[in-house]
Amino acid sequence: MDEWIENIVELESNIESYPNPGIKVFQYGTSGIRYNSEHLDHVLHRMGLLVALRSIHLKSAAVGLMITASHNPQDDNGIKLIDPLGEMLDSSWEVYATKLANAPNNQDVCAMLINIAYENNIDKKYIPRVYIGRDTRNSGKRLLDAVLCGVNAFNSNVEDFGIITTPMLHFFVRCYNTNGLYGQPSEHSYYTKLTNSFKTLRKMANLKNYSPVIEFDGANGVGALKMKDAIIHLEETLVINMHNDDIMNTEKLNYKCGADFVKSNQCPPTGMTIKPHSKYVSVDGDADRIVYSFVDENNKFYLLDGDRIATLVAGYIKDLFIASGLDVNVGLVQTAYSNGNSTKYVTDKLKVPVACVPTGVKYLHHKANDYDVGIYFEANGHGTILFKDAIRELIRNQCSIEVDEAKSLALKKLICIMDMTNETVGDAYSDMLIVESVLCERGWSISDWYKTYSDLPNRLKQVTVKDRNTFETGDAERICLKPLGLQEKIDSIVLKYSMGRSFVRPSGTEDVVRIYAEADTQINADKLAVEVATAVYDIADGVGKKPE
């Protein structure tokens, strides 16, 4: 105990520079902490302290701190903390993050840090190693200083990677802690690993209706900046036309463009001319999400979201394993927001088992580990593929001894897919390479891909209520347990709609309750969503206008 207390005076003076103005109660939610950047200095400083302590606890393993507010508006910022294998912060430490962010004064921060050290039996002798990255937001630099002040209070080894995407930082953290087996913690190694395997696979592919031309919507953020570097490595295997790549004018970040805008509004991004049958790729403000879209000759809009990517990838990987002769357990993880028809297609047609988990990438990632090869995607376009170490080894070993040509080719393709996947977290660049590989292999245009199954019409709505914490859900958020009586009401409403499904849950990132509805027609999906939203509004003291 004493060894930690010794440093308290030093720590207290470090903390003094970043007092908590007490205007907001923070929560380490679905994906870290986000808020208006003006009020985040003390939070970022404390997260710097926490992440350093986490590294000491993990015996000097590198841990990551990303300064970003992802798809949120430019005025916001936030943090995401990264554990040693590039995965999200362990949930027991999320609790510490929340408590520290809200500690009213310096003494409390010190006391909490000391408590964390004792609770976890942390040995002070280890020197922390912290990897830091940030997105293009103006506030990033100022908040970085706050983080550095916290991190340096523990005399950490710090590596500041500057402006990078969130998935790059996850990748770097994993590279360091796996002694280079996964690659090196550098942008060059990242591009080379992912892109070289893409180029190798491309040489084995079938073109037919496939077009390598991509209209790239960079959300005016770091995704655009990094795609310009990636283009050099791609060496014309893809023709990428850049749009929404104005990172200097930060007002434009995520504004009416990018993956979240396209998915939420079900319309093309603004800021670019939309041509029929061209292939549009939109990423979000920290480039960990991706969606595809196109319009037809009548300007009708078609979205290929995370569900579509998941089905495309699952079908392809399943086929490769069949062709390779290896008996491997491939599974898909979705959330309740996944379109009912995507689940049906994967289960019935592709014969791939599907698991449903609560919203939040950490839950999907965790569940995907249950399979030999686990594919996970949120409908909004965040996802990746996880290969068990034993399977990875099996594929490589088998490939080195396989004499059958067809089997050998399938194994080589599997190796390329493994190497172009950033397994640590959803990664728009890696996911784009995988999608382009599969489309090229299948010889599909974007509309061929769209034709694999049709989505059930759906609608997402949100209602602000007096206290969203009064909501409790069960069965992977598909049932609402509290407020009492609401689920019965939803059941009776859903019964009236053909192919109806609806559920409600409190958001983990915003102060709202979300309502999802799907049904046989768009009109019915819209009506169902309004009816359920009204039920929520009535039973839980809705704030503001009644849903319509």
- Binding residue numbers: 70, 284, 286, 288, 378-380, 505-509, 514
Instruction: Quote the least distance from Cβ 432 to Mg ion, whole Å.
Output: 15
Distances (CA, A) of 332 to 116, 366, 373, 450: 36, 12, 9, 19
CB atoms within 10 A of CB 295: 17
- In the bound state with ligand GN1, the residue whose beta carbon lies nearer, of 41 and 260, is 260
Site size toward ligand GN1 (CB under 6 A) is 14
Answer yes or no whether residue 381 interacts with ligand GN1 by CB under 6 A. Answer: no
Instruction: Quote the least distance from Cβ 165 to ligand GN1, whole Å.
Output: 14
Answer yes or no whether residue 75 interacts with ligand GN1 by CB under 6 A. Answer: no
Residues at the interface with Mg ion (CB under 5 A): 70, 284, 286, 288
Answer yes or no whether residue 337 interacts with ligand GN1 by CB under 6 A. Answer: yes
Instruction: Quote the least distance from Cβ 71 to ligand GN1, whole Å.
Output: 7
Answer yes or no whether residue 360 interacts with ligand GN1 by CB under 6 A. Answer: yes
Asked if the peptide bond before residue 268 counts as cis, ω within 30 degrees of 0, the response is: no
Instruction: Quote the least distance from Cβ 63 to ligand GN1, whole Å.
Output: 20
Instruction: Quote the least distance from Cβ 282 to Mg ion, whole Å.
Output: 12
Pick what 30 binds: ligand GN1, Mg ion, none; C-beta below 5 to 8 Å, kind-dependent.
ligand GN1
Answer yes or no whether residue 353 interacts with ligand GN1 by CB under 6 A. Answer: no
Answer yes or no whether residue 68 interacts with ligand GN1 by CB under 6 A. Answer: no
Residues between 239 and 268 with contacts to ligand GN1, criterion CB under 6 A: none
In the sheet that holds 330-334, the strands lie side by side as 354-356, 330-334, 373-377, 383-387
Burial 215-251 (b: 16+ CB within 10 A, else e): bbbbbbbbbbbbbeebbebbeebbebeebbbebeebe
Answer yes or no whether residue 378 interacts with ligand GN1 by CB under 6 A. Answer: yes
| Beta strands 330-334; 354-356: pairing state | parallel
The C-alpha atoms of residue 192 and residue 230 are separated, in whole angstroms, by 9
Residues between 486 and 525 with contacts to ligand GN1, criterion CB under 6 A: 507-510, 514
Q: Which of 164, 240, 361, 373 binds ligand GN1 (CB under 6 A)?
A: 361
Answer yes or no whether residue 185 interacts with ligand GN1 by CB under 6 A. Answer: no
Active-site residue, 70 included? yes
DSSP 337-357: TS-HHHHHIIIIIS---EEE-
- In the bound state with ligand GN1, the residue whose beta carbon lies nearer, of 240 and 361, is 361
Contact 379, 363 (CB under 8 A): no
Joined tokens for residue 518: 């799907």
Q: Per the annotation, where are the binding residues for Mg(2+)?
A: 70, 284, 286, 288
3-state secondary structure of 33: strand
Instruction: Quote the least distance from Cβ 118 to ligand GN1, whole Å.
Output: 32
Distances (CA, A) of 112 to 95, 104, 299: 12, 11, 57
By CB neighbour count within 10 A (0-12 exposed, 13-18 middle, 19+ buried), where does 405 fall? exposed
Active-site residue (options: 70, 156, 197, 430): 70
By CB neighbour count within 10 A (0-12 exposed, 13-18 middle, 19+ buried), where does 297 fall? exposed
Pick what 284 binds: Mg ion, ligand GN1, none; C-beta below 5 to 8 Å, kind-dependent.
Mg ion
Distance, CA of 2 to chain centre:
41
Site string for ligand GN1, 403-442 (x = CB under 6 A): ----------------------------------------
3-state secondary structure of 512: coil
| Catalytic center residues | 70
- Using CB under 6 A as the criterion, which residues of the chain lie in contact with ligand GN1 when the complex forms? 30-31, 70, 337, 359-361, 378, 380, 507-510, 514
